[in-house]
Amino acid sequence: MARYKSRRRFGRELLISEQSTPSRVCRFCSATKPLSEFPKNRLIARTGGIQRIYACLLCRNNRRRGVYDADVLDNLRLYGASLSPQQTAVHRSGYQRRAAKNKRLYGTTLTPSQIEGVRIRQKRGLARLRGQALELYGGECECCGESNPNYLTFDHINGDGGRLWARLGGGGSRYRVVIKAGYPNSRYRLLCYNCNIALGIYGHCPHVSHGYRSVAVREGDRIAERELKEEMIVAYGGKCQSCGEDHLEFMTIDHVRGGGCQHRREIRAAGVNFYRRLKRQGWPKGDYRLLCFNCNCAKGTVGK
Ligand SMILES: [Zn+2]
Ligand SMILES: [Zn+2]
Ligand SMILES: [Zn+2]
Ligand SMILES: [Zn+2]
């Protein structure tokens, strides 16, 4: 607890009584400064009196920092940590006291504004990480060159390890993984949602004549599904109601009142059956609209 001892000694040395003079010479930097720039002694202020210390605010802070640094070095030498066990105990009991109070008042260990702060910092960190990853991979869709960052997403090229990829979810872990892989590599690539989801569902993107990979689907089913989708697209206006994109492979139905981007696997499984249901209902308009996957999935723009 050397820090607190030093501070007390420091306080005694420097205390003087409040004077009527409007300015004072700092004992450390010798500058003449207005009285208001000399900190009040807090213990005495608590009893209603005023005493100011001999050091100006700047010199007081520098000295404190020096004392603190010396303290940290001592602690590192003695305990291998920047805080002594006693200091740690003080910190911990203070934290526990505040946590208990917050729990009583708000039901959580942090105050609502602290929670808000944590959320903001997490969001900012995630955005920074995403920015780094996008920059590393060239900032545009490898297939069509789309460069609006809101439309871009990372694709896991080969199926192997896909489950792990799915488990990483949409948080920062994915960005860390693609950054760590370095660029270029054979496992991850940057695509827009349109190209990414078209590749996932159809095995090819309309931008390129050959497919990245083929999907084994019975030909009859495929034609029927395609015709159903064409019918759906015509019924809902023929193109993306937000950007005008009109490739069949990129089109999806957006639930106007529902959540934003659906997971790709969900779309693949539900797509055709969902279109059949809409057809039976005579293509209802109010709750549904036609969007491309980019507009449907875009972060913070049209969707969500
Ligand atoms: Zn000074
Ligand atoms: Zn694209
Ligand atoms: Zn494409
Ligand atoms: Zn669109």
Listed residues 98, 127, 157: the one ending a domain: 98
Does residue 104 form part of some domain? Answer: no
Q: For residue 301, is pLDDT > 50?
A: no
Q: What is the mean pLDDT of the chain?
A: 81
pLDDT at 298: 82
> What's the 215 CA to ligand 4 centre distance in angstroms?
25
> What's the 129 CA to ligand 2 centre distance in angstroms?
21
pLDDT digits (tens, 9 = 90+) for 155-213: 888 755 567 777 777 678 889 999 999 998 888 999 999 998 888 777 778 887 544 44
Residues 57, 120: one domain?
no
Number of domains in the chain: 3
> Could you give the ipTM of this predicted complex?
0.72
> What's the 146 CA to ligand 3 centre distance in angstroms?
9
What b/e string do you get for 216-250 counting C-beta neighbours within 10 Å, with b at 16 or more? eeeeeeeeebeebbeebbebbeebbebbebebebb
Residues 94, 127: one domain?
no
Q: For residue 263, is pLDDT > 60?
A: no
Listed residues 72, 98, 124: the one ending a domain: 98
CB within 8 A of 8, min separation 6: which ones? none
Listed residues 38, 69, 98: the one ending a domain: 98
Q: Determine the Cα–Cα distance for residues 89 and 77; give it in Å rounded to an integer.
A: 19
Does residue 287 form part of some domain? Answer: yes
> What's the 116 CA to ligand 3 centre distance in angstroms?
39
Does residue 211 form part of some domain? Answer: no
Q: For residue 130, is pLDDT > 50?
A: yes
Does residue 225 form part of some domain? Answer: yes
Neighbours of ion ligand 4 (CB under 5 A): 240, 242-243, 245, 292, 295
pLDDT at 304: 35
pLDDT at 115: 96
Look up the domain containing 133 and give its range.
Answer: 110-199
> What's the 19 CA to ligand 1 centre distance in angstroms?
18
> What's the 205 CA to ligand 3 centre distance in angstroms?
5
Does residue 66 form part of some domain? Answer: yes
SS3 254: strand
Does residue 161 form part of some domain? Answer: yes
Ligand whose nearest atom lies closest to the CA of 245: 4
Does residue 206 form part of some domain? Answer: no
> What's the 206 CA to ligand 1 centre distance in angstroms?
71
Residues 93, 6: one domain?
yes
> What's the 1 CA to ligand 1 centre distance in angstroms?
26
Does residue 205 form part of some domain? Answer: no
Residues 94, 116: one domain?
no
> What's the 206 CA to ligand 2 centre distance in angstroms?
10
pLDDT at 249: 87
